Amino acid sequence: MKTSRFFVACVLGASLFTGLLLPLSGQAQGHGTSKVRISTSMGDIEAELYADKAPRTVANFLQYVKDKHYDGTVFHRVISSFMVQGGGFDARYQQKPTRAPIEHEGRKALAAGLKNTTGTLAMARTGDPNSASSQFFINVVDNAFLDPIPIPDGDPVAKFEYQGRVYENVARSQLVTAPQLFGYTVFGKVTSGMDVVQKIRNTPTGAGGPFPSDVPKTPVLIQSVTLLK
């Protein structure tokens, strides 16, 4: 069984999915804004999803909603100073099967104004930028370090600054494909139920299932995710 935390590079025996970026069969890309309700054992969360800013990501998420993939899953990773993450494991901590991952579109979303700020929804993934499938997280603080890094114009790029260092005359392809510059794709924002997110955020955590830490001691169940409009 593939078991993965699906976040940053915390991978436990997981194979990456490079080369499996397949189209979402029979699935409309969609435009504009849709709204979903995430019903949990701690209450309901409603969120807007921005298909005009992150079309493939929203289409992917809504297909999982349509397939009822999220029903009966849990928030399996909760860090009160960071985010709450779910959508991949059932209540027995068995990882649910997913479709092929989607192509990362974080820079497009960032250019459209979506950042990893408090209350936003973003896609979880492994160290491979193109590995996001069903797991998502809700930022509970502003996490600017998760935002994609814009690449300046030019080839080579005359000057590029990253983590306090300055790079000059760097081939554009080298920057565009650098995994550490992709960040995480934001695709929605909580519009009501942040009090529920706060409850989840503050729930006591410890070891659970295959994970040594950050698992709610009392499982937080996603009972259903429903498309409202």
Buried b (16+ CB within 10 A) or exposed e, 19-29: eeeeeeeeeee
Please tell me whether residues 160 and 78 are part of one structural domain: no
Residue at 193 is within a domain: yes
Please tell me whether residues 213 and 173 are part of one structural domain: no
DSSP run (H or E) holding 107: helix 106-111
Please tell me whether residues 142 and 153 are part of one structural domain: no
Residue at 18 is within a domain: no
DSSP run (H or E) holding 145: none
Distance CA 208, CA 45 (A): 24
Distance CA 135, CA 22 (A): 18
Please tell me whether residues 155 and 122 are part of one structural domain: no
Please tell me whether residues 77 and 140 are part of one structural domain: yes
Residue 140 DSSP label = S
Please tell me whether residues 188 and 214 are part of one structural domain: yes
Please tell me whether residues 82 and 195 are part of one structural domain: yes
Please tell me whether residues 42 and 85 are part of one structural domain: yes
Please tell me whether residues 166 and 106 are part of one structural domain: no
Please tell me whether residues 138 and 190 are part of one structural domain: yes
Range(s) of the domain holding residue 119: 3-9+34-148+183-227
**Over its length of 229 residues, how does the chain's per-residue pLDDT go in tens digits?**
333 444 543 322 232 222 233 333 333 344 689 999 999 999 999 999 999 999 999 999 999 999 999 999 999 999 999 999 999 999 999 999 999 999 999 999 999 999 999 999 999 999 999 999 999 999 999 999 999 999 999 999 999 999 999 999 999 999 999 999 999 999 999 999 999 999 999 999 999 999 999 999 999 999 999 999 8
Distance CA 202, CA 200 (A): 5
φ/ψ of residue 165, rounded to 5? -110, 150
Please tell me whether residues 131 and 220 are part of one structural domain: yes
Residue at 133 is within a domain: yes
Residue at 15 is within a domain: no
Domain count within the chain:
2
Distance CA 11, CA 22 (A): 22
Residue at 27 is within a domain: no
pLDDT digits (tens, 9 = 90+) for 11-34: 222 322 222 333 333 333 446 899
Which CATH number goes with the domain that contains 210?
2.40.100.10
Residue at 19 is within a domain: no
φ/ψ of residue 184, rounded to 5? -125, 135
Residue at 160 is within a domain: yes
DSSP run (H or E) holding 170: strand 165-170
Please tell me whether residues 215 and 119 are part of one structural domain: yes
- For residue 66, list its beta bridge partners: none
